[in-house]
Chains A and B, each alone.
Chain A
């Protein structure tokens, strides 16, 4: 069983603040790292898939970076808005699929 760890577990920020959180994963047998956004009472929604060391992806105010050699990915949100409130999940795919337990973000208006 592999450990995919996300930190922090939860986060409260003020509207307009920028924030970031971390996903740590094993650096061996790496195929891809996925980020998902999961709003309460909805399904997880894919944000990014990253496969190469040094990959950076961006979607609006959200961006992500990948370091496969040291086994971590960062997700950044610039100028947080209340609608960004959700749980952000990362998933490591090697031989199997492993999800982290997520970072719960609350943006306070």
Chain B
């Protein structure tokens, strides 16, 4: 029973390029969460999605960032026109989706994004 999968594990982009980060939740999980960890900081909530729905994107920067969780396939966090300040570790977590606030979230290994 595979855990939460994220790919790529490391991603290097030049300023102005696009970054696409993928997250496959655990089998049977219908909720996905994305977090960002900036250097020397803690985990910051970005967005919470169910299949084909964004439930809460209040932690997501208003520009250049978007997320989706299609009916088929992984959840995608997309960052357009990356800047150096986007360099961070991006973690995805999934949960069964019974009660979001009390569900245990299972984390993936993260994607380390470096913007040159």
Contacts and interface: CB of A to CB of B under 8 A. Distances in A.
Q: How large, as a class, is the contact surface on chain A?
A: 20 to 34
B58 A96 contact: yes
Contacts, number: 51
B44 A32 contact: no
A89 B42 contact: yes
B89 to A, nearest CB: 11
B56 interface: yes
A49 interface: yes
A71 interface: no
Nearest to B104: A46
A46 B109 contact: no
Nearest to B93: A44
Interface string A21-61: 00000000001101010000011111001010000000000
A49 B101 CA distance: 10
Contacts of B33: 97
Interface of A: 31-32, 34, 36, 42-46, 49, 51, 89, 91, 93-94, 96-102
- 4 closest pairs, A vs B, by CB? A31-B101, A101-B42, A43-B107, A99-B43
